Structure 1
Amino acid sequence: MANHHQHQPTTDPHQRCEPESPMSLLPEDCIAAIISFTTPRDACRLSLVSSIFKSAAESDIVWECFLPHDYKSIISYSSSPPYLLSLPSKKELFLSLCDHMIMIDDGQTVFYMRKQSGKKYYVPRFFHSRHHPIWLMERD
């Protein structure tokens, strides 16, 4: 009795040979939904598993979940250029928000995010005497 589920070698030398797994049978949007419950770091790691995981892990569905729910208003009330909202992917927007601090609240607060966790931070400026202490606050 022949096994019809055996992996057949590919004739294209440039195509990666990926063994089938139960997860590879899931639709890509289902895999993306699962990945969206992880962290940005995990999503990047999972993108290395297979081509379907790469596509799912880089989808806007996943990266929209890693962005703050109020990211549009944060950007619109910032002194940052409006190009941020026109970046080609949510992943690029996420990385940009992590790599560049944004001034908000008329320059009184700095907003930034952590790449590994996606946590957002607000740094209000409090000045007194010669010292410039910075207080980190995490807001929802």
Structure 2
Amino acid sequence: MGASFSAFFIDEDGLSAPSSPSLGDLPESCVASIIGYLDPPQICKLAKLNRAFRAASWADCVWESKLPPNYHILVGKILGFAPEKLGKRDIYTRLCRANTFDGGTKKVWLDKSTGGVCMSISSKGLRITGIDDRRYWNHIPTDESRFGSIAYLQQTWWLEVDGEVEFPFPPGTYSVFFRLQLGRASRRFGRRVCNSEHVHGWDIKPVRFQLWTSDGQHSTSQCVVGDPGEWFHYHVGDFNVEKSNSSTKLKLSMTQIDCTHTKGGLCLDSVVVYPSKFRERLKHKGFLKCAKPM
């Protein structure tokens, strides 16, 4: 794009003369102002263009706008040190990793493209009725979970899962999902297979999902759990955050306590919290199950 060419050309008298200005001649401050309008992946690609773009791609003024408004609080809680020790691009990079906290039961990260805060709560970070009785529940290892294990329900009369988390979410609207699958997946001769031996009882009554926030927001919905063999995100509800310097406490639940029948064969991976606009991503990929409000 001009930067790879020689900065001079030979004129008619055989004398060297300056060529037309190229991208490499742009001041770093000018380049930083331009790439500041791009999303992070595009900025990183342009950094390979030439020295001016590479230098500008590290400018704090470029990455300040990409970070959440309360990134100082996030860095202290997630990374455990003062953000002044790193440049803004380094902070963004570290926050984009799946950072573990709360005893390894929770992970939080920034979406690389949008900078939106995402969170996942493992099955071990939830309160599951009967989880200590191996006749009903088991924690089994799997590479299909970002936590390396899931909770597997063989059979129960009473399904009750509760969880809570307190976190300084940046201002915005967020959606909460349970990541569930009917049937137990495994690998056989290098291929994924799903054992539906214990799957039963889910088509009789819907599962009820609830969400509460510390500032009084509440939603209740229900959905029939179906389609064995695939992981789906079951939408619990949405919540809004308006203040950037305070924490939001969430409480959530999943229940099916109709004791007229047993149900089993359910895999519970995690609860995830995404910016609400991510619902379209999940829907486009076919991973979304929308519960009906009650």
Q: Shorter-chain TM-score: which interval?
A: 0.5 to 0.7
Q: Is the 1:126–1:132 Cα contact (8 Å) retained in structure 2?
A: no
What is the TM-score normalised by the length of structure 1? 0.66
Residue equivalent to 1:80: 79
Q: Cα deviations across residues 3-47 of structure 1 (Å, max 9, x unaligned)?
A: xxx8228xxxxxxxxx842x4454321211221111111111111
Q: Is the 2:109–2:118 Cα contact (8 Å) retained in structure 1?
A: yes
Residues 65 and 79 (structure 1), Cα distance of their counterparts in 2 relative to 1, 3 Å cut? closer
Q: Cα deviations across residues 92-134 of structure 1 (Å, max 9, x unaligned)?
A: 1111111241548xx9864211334433213356543454531
Instruction: Tell me if 1:123 matches 2:120.
Output: yes
Q: Is the 1:41–1:117 Cα contact (8 Å) retained in structure 2?
A: no
Instruction: Tell me if 1:71 matches 2:68.
Output: no
Q: Is the 1:31–1:53 Cα contact (8 Å) retained in structure 2?
A: yes
The one-letter code sitting in structure 2 at the alignment partner of 1:114 is D
User: CA separation in 2, counterparts of 1:88 and 1:79?
Assistant: 14
Residue equivalent to 2:42: 42
User: CA separation in 1, counterparts of 2:78 and 2:91?
Assistant: 16
Can you give the 5+ residue segments of structure 1 that lack an aligned partner in the other structure? 1-5, 10-18
Instruction: Tell me if 1:133 matches 2:132.
Output: no
> Any residues of structure 2 matched to 1:5-44 within 5 Å, and which?
7-8=7-8, 20-21=21-22, 23-44=23-44
Higher normalized contact order (CA 8 Å, seq sep 6+, divided by chain length):
2
Instruction: Tell me if 1:52 matches 2:56.
Output: no
Runs of 4 or more above 6 Å deviation: none
% same residue:
22
Q: Cα deviations across residues 43-97 of structure 1 (Å, max 9, x unaligned)?
A: 1111111111111112111122221111012233x153215x1433111111111
Q: Secondary structure at the match of 2:38?
A: coil
CA RMSD in angstroms, aligned pairs only: 3.3
Q: Is the 2:110–2:118 Cα contact (8 Å) retained in structure 1?
A: yes
User: CA separation in 1, counterparts of 2:127 and 2:31?
Assistant: 48
Q: Is the 2:43–2:57 Cα contact (8 Å) retained in structure 1?
A: yes
Structure number with bigger Rg: 2
Can you give the 5+ residue segments of structure 2 that lack an aligned partner in the other structure? 1-5, 10-19, 130-136, 138-267, 277-294
Residue equivalent to 1:114: 111
Report the number of matched residues.
122
What is the TM-score normalised by the length of structure 2? 0.35
Residues 75 and 40 (structure 1), Cα distance of their counterparts in 2 relative to 1, 3 Å cut? same
Q: Is the 1:39–1:118 Cα contact (8 Å) retained in structure 2?
A: no
Q: Is the 2:24–2:51 Cα contact (8 Å) retained in structure 1?
A: no
**Greater per-residue strand proportion:** 2
